[in-house]
Amino acid sequence: VQAGDRATFARVLDLLAARYGTRGRAGRLSPLDELVATILSQHTSDINTARAYASLRETFPTWEGVVDAETAAVEDAIRGGGLAAQKAPRIQSALRAVRDESGAFDLAWLAERDTADALAWLVSLPGVGPKTAACVLLFSLDRPVMPVDTHVGRVATRLGALPPRAGPLQALHEVTALVDPPARMLEAHLLLIDHGRDLCKALRPRCGMCPVRDLCDYGTAMKNAASTA
Ligand code: SF4
């Protein structure tokens, strides 16, 4: 798949959908809740994220309570999610920035902004990078923006659609631009994650079993190398 080759990428998605099936959205959080949950999800599993988020909401029923609390108390509440010492101040800073912007702990107003503006505002928050911002935009606001996590980035790079050293913002824009129609963004995101977990693993991808090998730069190179060895 060459960068920007939407037609070939659509075939990749069709083949992945045939293997993994298509899943719908698991549920929807408000944009602010999604922002906090996504900060909690950085460098940890979905299970740990859910546990830490539930614990945070139970300990502090309001976002105001999180901002007013000692950072150590927030850390304690989210310890099950890992990296609590980094995430607690990030969450408090992001919540403060949201309150400073709109006077309330609410991001519903983001729906009024166009996607580029909303993305720019989100990544201006402390501790919020392009992937976290894209999660808020895609999962809560249905904006066609690809969160490029470790799986999505690895699969897209091996396919040949993303330069190996693309930065987070470039990766977001390049993978987003590949998805046609944009309404497939959530499906594409979930399929690339499924594929990264199942066959296109970080160590030893299982290219021999992969349904998209003939469309993949890495898989094709490995196949050619094996046949000339
Ligand atoms: S052929 Fe290999 S590297 Fe390419 S997508 Fe499939 S598993 Fe990943």
User: 75: which 2 tokens?
Assistant: 């850390």
- 200 Cα: distance to centroid of ligand 1 (angstroms): 5
98: Cβ contacts below 8 Å, ≥ 6 apart: 32, 35, 104, 105, 106, 107, 125
> In this predicted structure, what is the pLDDT of residue 119?
98
Nearest Cα to Cα of residue 170 among 153, 184, 186, 155: 153
- 182 Cα: distance to centroid of ligand 1 (angstroms): 23
DSSP symbol at 213: G
> In this predicted structure, what is the pLDDT of residue 160?
97
What is the rounded distance in angstroms from the CA atom of residue 67 to the CA atom of residue 69? 6
> In this predicted structure, what is the pLDDT of residue 24?
75
What is the rounded distance in angstroms from the CA atom of residue 67 to the CA atom of residue 171? 32
What tens digit of pLDDT does each residue of 41-97 get?
988 888 999 999 999 999 999 999 999 999 999 999 999 888 999 999 999 999 999
What is the rounded distance in angstroms from the CA atom of residue 203 to the CA atom of residue 7? 28
pTM: 0.93
Does the annotation count 87 as an active-site position? no
Q: Which mutation among 159, 178, 224 tests ligand 1's pocket best, with the greatest number of atoms within 8 A of CB?
A: 159
| pLDDT tens for the 229 residues of the chain, in order | 888 899 999 999 999 999 999 877 778 999 999 999 999 998 888 899 999 999 999 999 999 999 999 999 999 999 988 899 999 999 999 999 999 998 999 999 999 999 999 999 999 998 899 999 999 999 999 999 999 999 999 999 999 999 999 999 999 999 999 999 999 999 999 999 999 999 999 999 999 999 999 999 999 999 888 888 7
199 pocket-lining for ligand 1 (C-beta < 6 Å): yes
> In this predicted structure, what is the pLDDT of residue 228?
82
